[in-house]
Amino acid sequence: MFLEAHMNIGVRGSKLAIDYAKRVEAQCFKSFQTNLVKIKTDGDIFENKSIQDIGGKGVFVSAIEQQLVDKKIDVAVHSFKDLPAVMDDSLEISAVLKRNDPRDCYIGTLFPHAKVGTGSPRRVAQLKENFNVEFDVMPIRGNIDTRIKKLEEGQYDAIILAVAGLEALGLEHKIKKIFPFSKMLPCVGQGVIAVQTRKGSSHSDVAKLNNHWNTYYSVMAERAMLQEIDGDCHTAVGAISSLVGDCINLKAINYNTGKHYESTSKLLEYKLLGEEVGKNIK
For residue range 257-270, what is the model confidence (pLDDT) as tens digits? 999 999 999 999 99
1 has a pLDDT exceeding 60: no
Tens of pLDDT, residue by residue over 91-104, are 999 999 999 999 99
Radius of gyration (Cα) for the chain, nearest Å? Answer: 18
Q: 12, 57, 81, 198: which one is catalytic? A: 81
Domain with CATH 3.40.190.10 in the chain: 1-97+192-211, 104-178
Cα 84 to chain center, whole Å? 10
Q: Specify the pTM.
A: 0.93
Q: Which residues share a beta bridge with 104?
A: 162
Q: 82, 104, 157, 232: which one is catalytic? A: 82
Which residue type does 19 have?
D
Q: 12, 57, 103, 147: which one is catalytic? A: 147
> Which residues have C-beta within 8 Å of that of residue 143, sequence separation ≥ 6?
14, 15, 16
Tens of pLDDT, residue by residue over 66-100, are 999 999 999 999 999 999 888 999 999 999 999 99
| Yes or no: domain 104-178 corresponds to CATH 3.40.190.10 | yes
d(CA 75, CA 129): 40
Which residue type does 265 have?
S
Q: Which of 13, 42, 21 minimizes the C-alpha distance to 168?
A: 21
Q: Crossing angle, helix 270-281 and helix 213-228, to 10 degrees?
A: 30
Return the pLDDT at 44.
Answer: 67
Domain with CATH 3.30.160.40 in the chain: 213-282
Instruction: Kindly report the three-state secondary structure assignment for every residue of 176-203.
Output: CEECCCCCCCCCCCCCCEEEEEECCCHH
Q: Which helix (H) or strand (E) holds 236?
A: none
Classify 213-282 by CATH class.
alpha beta
Q: 103, 122, 198, 251: which one is catalytic? A: 122
Under CATH, which number does the domain 1-97+192-211 receive?
3.40.190.10
233 is catalytic: yes
Strands 237-244, 247-254: pairing is antiparallel
- Give the dihedral sign, CA 236/119/163/59: positive
Return the pLDDT at 265.
Answer: 98
147 is catalytic: yes
122 is catalytic: yes
103 is catalytic: no
Looking at every residue in the chain, the average pLDDT score rounds to 93
12 is catalytic: no
